[in-house]
Chains A and B, each alone.
Chain A
Amino acid sequence: MKKALIFLIVFLASSLAGICSAQAAELDGNAILRQVDKNLQPQSYEMYRKLINVEPDGTKKEFVLYSVKKGQDKMVALFLSPASEKGRSTLRLGENMWLYIPNVGKPIRITSLQSVVGGVFNNSDILRLDYGSEYDAVSITREGDTYLLQLKAKTNAIAYDSLKMWVDAKAIVPTTIECYAASGMLIKTLYYKNTKDFGDGLVRPSVLETDSPLYKGYKSVMIYAKVQRKKLADEVFSLNYLARVDELR
């Protein structure tokens, strides 16, 4: 009887622990995603990025962008270089995106899948919002020093239907992300590299590389610099302000 009682207690305890562990794993996926977003960027900040498109023969084309972001769904990027792109700015409010070209003189709506600069990065990569605002974690597994998160887009308005995200378990920053279309086709792979201290407690990868089976032999690289907190008015993220983004620098 005593043995039976001990067995029952142990059985119940392990079952309960198992249930709790399964629930924790489910909760942890989204919690880790939130932590990833927090570790990659402050809630309201500015940054400079250099974007390099590398062709199979090694030819490079480079772009420099200044960006500001506020909250989970507001972002603006301004091209500083090369001269042919200078003054172009793109605004994202949730799933709405606009492009302002100085010569055209008015913002036009663009789609997230288009690429303003050519190459492997598209508009949604350049104006990327928090991962947690666009995706839900549907599963999480531990693979050595990394977590593998399976992420599913919250709506069909998101550029990629699902992501596989490998996260450094210690630093809680992504290392590799595979982006898939709804058909299951791999669209591109993102590689986060070169962790750097940007100051003010922000330690995150400073390089993002991408390649795509759709652009065989091509590669695009994004280098981050001067990522820092900045107070921004909501009105900065509006069509009427697009021509004035340079004032924020």
Chain B
Amino acid sequence: MRRLIFFILVNLILFTGFASAQEEFSFTLEEFEKKSLEWGGYAEIKLEHTKGNQNAAFALLDSHGDPRSSLDRFTSTLQLDGNYNKGLFSLNWVAQAYGRQDQEQWEDEASIFEVYVSIKPTPMASIDLGKKVFKWGKGYAWNPVGFIDRPKDPNNPEESLEGYIGAGLDLIKSFSGPLQTLALTTVVLPVQDNINEDFGKRDNLNLAAKLYLLYRDVDIDFLLFTGNSRTTRYGFDFSTNLATNFEIHGELAHIPKQSQKILDADGNVEIREIADTSYLLGLRYLTENDVTTIIEYYHNDDGYTEQEQDRFFELVDDANDLFMETGDDSLYSKAASGSEGAYGRSQSGRNYLYAKITQKEPFDLLYFTPGLTAILNLDDESFSLSPEAVYTGFTNWELRLRFSLLVGSSFTDYGEKQNENKLELRVRYFF
């Protein structure tokens, strides 16, 4: 019943949107006068056909030796956002719910991504209290300096993410010399029972700070995280335009003491302490015929070497053999423990290259943007390749067709992922 109501709701919004997209638009300013309550969001349907990689380590681990050859999935998502303004105060929120059906199961979840009160006494200062998303760093696909961010999906880096509960203070000062702007953002982040539990160790109060400078047309950030939920970390990032069509950016993060899961020679999960210095260098280049290229190199010091990854893949192989022969899943449990937050992360290697090429409106096709995204593990040379086409010609509609292909031999990053390829159609209506 619940899934029926959910589907009806999402499809009703989509259908209403299609009907209103046909209406004529008239420009009356009253329509755009500011209201104290404003809200919006989107409804989305997504159809996915996935071809599984049945011999891959993560497919075996997930299904204990019996992975599916393919999976068809239908997902409906509803996102609602808005704000209520009263004088110096505003209440802001973003909530998202999804329902998902595939051949195996129905899944649904509703989450509040953000809900916070802002107090803004002057343009130079603001205070935020509540659950809020912070996205720090200049990288497009990865952000090693995103100390209080949730990790984003490099295949969908522009999607909404869930925030953390805390208190933030933002101070801005503008100048007329070479230093044009100076801004300080500080965030206090508690971790307790039922508050930011998944952030790190509980019963701690953490502090994150970002000092931003616009100096001689260069954006510069100095970042700091300290507190006992995670170890202390330092960061630096920058971005600037070298020409009207050429931007460069970079990030550097240093974590003097970082705990990392590692498999020993016997396949046992141990915790070791490392000094983690991760960095990213990137560029964005626009050609005369509107081709935008984003290229980023990412060194993930917290990642695993080829040898270390091999050990994990061997463990899964052994686990599968043991399970098939005896039904004993103890090795699978070990591998699952090593996978969680470590070998199973979406990018668990050490060196990656990201490239995204999009051509805006080719052949005079307005609002049509074809593109190609590639993510390459530079150590084992496995990669993912995702051609896509996006059309935004119907007002408030976005249609995206994407195919993703994962290529790699045995015991490589992309060769051992759960899927071999995926075809995805996403239709999103904004309201």
Contacts and interface: CB of A to CB of B under 8 A. Distances in A.
A81 interface: yes
Contacts of A223: 27
20 contacts: A61-B367, A81-B32, A84-B42, A84-B397, A84-B398, A86-B40, A86-B430, A93-B180, A95-B244, A103-B159, A111-B247, A112-B244, A157-B241, A215-B364, A226-B29, A235-B174, A240-B170, A240-B212, A244-B126, A247-B120
Across the A-B interface, give the 6 residue pairs with the lowest CB-CB distance, nearest first. Answer: A234-B174, A84-B430, A83-B430, A105-B135, A106-B135, A233-B123
Interface string B380-412: 000000000000110111100000000000000
A157 B25 contact: no
Nearest to A181: B288
Given A61-B393, A103-B160, A238 B181 contact: yes
B269 interface: no
A114 to B, nearest CB: 6
Interface in A71-116: 80-84, 86-87, 93-96, 101-106, 108-115
A121 interface: no
Interface string B118-137: 00101110100000011111
Interface in B20-45: 25, 27, 29, 32, 34, 40, 42
B241 A109 contact: yes
Contacts of B299: none
A84 to B, nearest CB: 4
A82 B430 contact: yes
A64 interface: yes
Contacts of A235: 123-124, 172-174, 181
B124 A64 contact: no
A115 B27 contact: no
Interface string A146-162: 00000000001111000
A108 B157 CA distance: 13
Interface of B: 25, 27, 29, 32, 34, 40, 42, 81, 85, 90, 120, 122-124, 126, 133-138, 140, 157-161, 170, 172-174, 180-181, 183, 185, 212, 214, 217, 219, 239-241, 243-247, 249, 284, 286, 290, 292, 360-361, 364, 366-367, 392-393, 395-398, 430-431
Interface in A190-246: 215-218, 223, 225-226, 233-241, 244, 246
Given A95-B217, A235-B173, A109 B392 contact: no
A110 B247 CA distance: 8
A103 B152 CA distance: 12
Contacts of B244: 95, 111-113, 156-159
Contact of B396 (A83, A225, A240): A83
* Listed residue (B27, B367, B392, B396) with the most chain A CB atoms within 10 angstroms of its CB: B27
Nearest to B286: A111
Interface residues of A, number: 61
A238 B366 contact: no
Given A118-B361, A157-B244, 11 more contacts: A53-B366, A61-B366, A82-B395, A84-B396, A95-B241, A106-B135, A106-B136, A109-B241, A111-B246, A118-B360, A233-B124
B414 to A, nearest CB: 26
Contacts of B135: 104-106
A225 B392 CA distance: 27
